[in-house]
Structure 1
Amino acid sequence: MVILYNAHHMTGEYLQGRNSAARQNPMWRPETHNTDECWLYNPQTSSLQPPPETGDHEVAVLENGLWVVKPDHRKEVYFDTATQTRHEINDIGIELDPAWTEKEPLSNSKWNGTDWAVDFALWLESVVRPQRDSKLTACDYRMMPDFPMDAEKKTEWEFYRQALRDLPSQLAEVVNPIPWPLAPAQ
């Protein structure tokens, strides 16, 4: 029995386990036809030749009647280490960019060559300062000259607000939770 090695009609990838028996061409005559014409098959979706062995992340693909090995990273997700752009691979033959990683980026992070590291300056600008500004805005009204508050309480709020302003310059690394100063009792 002659085996046909079948390929997917859209992708051309070898359909492992879906081999079939080739049927003999009833019109074939050894004196008028070459041996390849002995069997009935579609050279776009099947081959009389077995596909080559493939490794991890590879697939055999039938192209123009010949098997070729192509990279296969379908259903895998990678992230660009420069832009943090997400790349979801959906097609056969996509070569991985050396600047891609499987590790998902962290918020406010940069690639350090082996992993995502939170960028301290970026963290200060995008996390600490906006939260600090929000806390200052929430108590702005207490500093208005017409807000009813005794001098001792006003001094407590002034110290609190100054501690909020000073906090970004006192931090030396990314910390979670952020050590916010405690607001005075109301």
Structure 2
Amino acid sequence: MYKIHNSEGYIQHLSDMAIIPNNPSNRDWREYQAWLVSDKNNKPLPMDIIDPWIAKRQERNLILQSTDWTVLPDAPLTLTEKTAWKAYRQKLRDLPRDYAKVEDIKMPSVTALVKA
């Protein structure tokens, strides 16, 4: 099953929460289009159906995934920088524990970690 994000221009596959860009050259986009025409009753869920915690976790997971390189042993970072990245990533992992309401979440800032 899929969920549409009209304002963002992409689709989300609900089985794995993967984001599918609106791009005909993307294999997942083509599979989504095939799913739509395979049964006239197939329709993506509206944006407001999905649990906001799931959406926030997905956002957090994408950030963690994109910063995995910072904790690799051969990452081109100083020990101080690696320590800062580890602390930042831990704050991301702690978000569900640290906030009772998803609307109160303040994502940790990466600005100080990015070299100018």
TM-score, structure 1 as length reference: 0.33
Structure 1 residue 174: deviation in Å? 3.2
Structure-to-structure mapping, 1:98-109, within 5 angstroms: 107-108=48-49
Point out which structure has higher relative CO (alpha carbons under 8 A, 6+ apart): 2
Cα RMSD for the two superposed structures? 2.1
- Counterpart among 108, 111, 115 of residue 181 in structure 1: 108
TM-score, structure 2 as length reference: 0.52
Q: Is the 8 A contact 1:143 1:154 kept in 2?
A: yes
Flag the 1:174–1:147 CA change in 2: closer, same or farther, 3 A.
closer
Partner residue, 2:99: 171
Flag the 1:169–1:108 CA change in 2: closer, same or farther, 3 A.
farther
| More strand by percentage | 1
Structure 1 residue 106: deviation in Å? 7.1
- Secondary structure of 2:94's aligned partner: helix
**Do structure 1's residue 123 and structure 2's residue 52 form an aligned pair?**
yes
Identity %: 34
Q: Distance in 2 between matches of 1:170 and 1:108?
A: 24
- Counterpart among 105, 130, 136 of residue 64 in structure 2: 136
Structure 1 residue 185: deviation in Å? 2.5
Q: Distance in 2 between matches of 1:160 and 1:140?
A: 12
Q: Distance in 1 between matches of 2:102 and 2:74?
A: 39
Ranges in structure 1 where 5+ consecutive residues have no aligned partner: 1-104, 110-121
Q: Is the 8 A contact 2:71 2:82 kept in 1?
A: yes
CA offsets, 1:105-124, max 9 Å, x none?
Answer: 87147xxxxxxxxxxxx321
After the TM superposition, which segments of 4 or more aligned residues of structure 1 sit over 3 Å from their partners? none
Q: Is the 8 A contact 2:56 2:102 kept in 1?
A: no
Q: Distance in 1 between matches of 2:83 and 2:75?
A: 13
Instruction: Give the greater-gyration-radius structure (CA).
Output: 1
Kindly tell me the number of residue pairs found equivalent between the two proteins: 68
Partner residue, 1:158: 86
